[in-house]
């Protein structure tokens, strides 16, 4: 990892000096390597020149490509505020550990075949070897259970507490176990004397089958069931993560459950929280729009006119979705928050416009078309200023290139584009719909009688 990083640094330094020969500082100014018992880590800091010319996603992608395959080891890059070491997570559960491992291996293979998915791993990390016992039929006839064997083995190697006393402020436990030279190896394990229910003794090797098998370094249980977590990284430039989750829920997961009966597959906790938050936001938005409808229906004394004010909200949402598609950004939770915020401002623009029409509708000697045209002309300036002030305020976030602020870009984009498209709807769509409704409610004047000559 470190060698690949230094090679990439040298290449970037050469490219930077070709662009500007006066650059003396390297694009990377700090590398701290931390070696622990089971992991190693790097803290890398980019120089001001590096932050100006390097796109961190491309930098990480090139670094990972230079590292290549390193076997069971997994690589995690954290370079965003609140970033997680994985983009996708699934919880697989089954009563049979062998079936669970087989299903997880097949699911990882299927998941790795989708475009944009890489570094697919699971939490089935191998641990230290462990001794497993299986009671022989002869021992079962003697009334010996597996729990009895495990307890006596524990007493022999770990110890059995026979006494406890107080020494000053400390409590001392007296443990009885095998001598150290007999506990340091498993050579004499099969000859360990086991006490039988009838009071006799027999060697462990005649009562149980002893196997030395690889253990598990970590066991995860959820709702009293052992689960395996399948985790993966995802390249958002190659595909849409939301579309991939939807495809997995429709195709792969039901097919895997049919192939392995009793298999339970759930999305990770992070994704579940996002979906729950999205459902909550949609529900609260519906309540807010209902309250806005009620507050507008009372002064206008109409059930239809409040709907005209709310027309700007879906138009603003459509504009935000269009902007994300145009820039190649996936819709996220931050995008949804920006769309909801934009809908409130757009409804306020329509309210300001039509309130002007309502106040002058009974007093001005004008047709409805002339009155609406006058309202759009008079209210164009405050509506435009409301958009411009919001746009100028959010412009620094839209132009921010640091990775710590990138999660705010979708929300700001939804808000600004939603306000722009919603302003257009408030000045064109809302007045036209209002005029159509008013023309239907206007009494039709009777035709003038024909004159006879």
pLDDT, tens digit, 9 for 90 and up, residues 94-132: 888 888 888 888 898 888 888 888 878 888 777 788 888
Question: For the domain 272-441, what is the CATH code?
Answer: 1.20.1640.10
According to the per-residue pLDDT averaged within each range, which of 19-28, 40-49, 142-151 is highest? 142-151
Smallest CA-to-CA distance from 90 within 201, 259, 220 is with 220
Residue 293 has pLDDT above 90, yes or no: no
Residue with tokens 């491992």: 101
Can you tell me the distance from the alpha carbon of 150 to that of 146, in angstroms, rounded to the nearest whole number?
Answer: 6
CATH class label, 127-217? alpha beta
| Domain ranges for the chain | 1-79, 127-217, 272-441
Exposed/middle/buried for residue 308 (C-beta within 10 Å: 0-12, 13-18, 19+): buried
pTM of this prediction? 0.59
End-to-end distance of the chain based on CA atoms, in angstroms?
105
Burial grade of 385 (CB within 10 A; 0-12, 13-18, 19 or more) = exposed
The model's pLDDT over 299-347, given as tens digits with 9 standing for 90+, comes to 777 788 778 778 778 888 888 888 888 887 777 778 888 888 888 788 7
The half-sphere exposure of 100 on its side-chain side, counting CA atoms within 13 A, is: 21
Q: Do domains 127-217 and 272-441 have the same CATH topology?
A: no
């Amino acid at each position: 990892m470190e060698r690949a990083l230094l090679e990439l640094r040298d290449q970037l330094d050469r490219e930077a000096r070709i662009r500007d020969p006066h650059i003396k500082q390297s694009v990377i100014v700090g590398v701290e390597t931390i070696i622990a018992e089971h992991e190693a880590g790097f803290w890398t800091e980019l120089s001001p020149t590096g932050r100006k010319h390097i796109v961190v996603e491309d930098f990480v992608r090139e670094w990972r490509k230079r590292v290549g395959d390193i076997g069971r080891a997994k690589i995690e890059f954290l370079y965003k505020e609140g970033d997680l070491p994985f983009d996708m997570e699934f919880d697989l559960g089954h009563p049979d550990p062998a079936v669970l491992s087989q299903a997880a291996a097949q699911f990882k293979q299927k998941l790795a075949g989708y475009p944009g998915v890489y570094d697919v791993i699971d939490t089935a990390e191998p641990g230290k070897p462990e001794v497993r016992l299986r009671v022989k039929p002869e021992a079962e006839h003697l009334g010996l259970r597996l729990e009895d064997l495990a307890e006596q083995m524990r007493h022999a190697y770990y110890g059995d507490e026979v006494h406890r006393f107080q020494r000053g402020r400390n409590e001392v436990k007296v443990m009885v176990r095998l001598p150290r030279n007999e506990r340091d190896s498993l050579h004499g394990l099969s000859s360990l004397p086991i006490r039988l229910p009838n009071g006799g003794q027999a060697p462990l090797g005649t009562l149980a089958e002893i196997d030395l098998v690889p253990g598990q370094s970590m066991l995860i249980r959820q709702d009293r069931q052992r689960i395996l977590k399948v985790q993966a990284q995802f390249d958002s430039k190659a595909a849409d993560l939301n579309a991939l989750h939807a495809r997995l829920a429709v195709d792969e997961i039901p097919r895997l459950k049919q192939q392995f009966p009793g298999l339970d597959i759930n999305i990770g906790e992070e994704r579940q929280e996002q979906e729950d938050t999205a459902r909550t936001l949609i529900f609260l938005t519906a309540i807010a729009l209902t309250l806005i409808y009620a507050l507008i229906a009372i002064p206008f004394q109409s059930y239809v006119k409040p709907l005209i004010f709310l027309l700007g909200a879906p138009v603003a949402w459509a504009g935000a979705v269009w902007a994300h598609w145009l820039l190649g950004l996936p819709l996220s939770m931050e995008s949804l928050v920006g769309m909801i915020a934009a809908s409130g401002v757009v409804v306020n623009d329509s309210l300001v416009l039509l309130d002007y029409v309502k106040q002058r509708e009974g007093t001005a000697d004008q047709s409805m078309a002339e009155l609406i045209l006058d309202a759009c002309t008079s209210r164009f300036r405050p509506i435009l200023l409301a958009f411009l002030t919001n746009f100028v305020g959010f412009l620094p976030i839209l132009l921010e290139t640091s990775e710590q602020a990138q999660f705010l870009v979708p929300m700001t984009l939804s808000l600004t584009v939603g306000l722009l498209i919603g302003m257009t709807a408030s000045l064109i769509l809302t007045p036209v719909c209002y005029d159509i409704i008013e023309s239907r409610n206007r009494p039709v004047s009777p035709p003038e009688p024909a004159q006879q000559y």
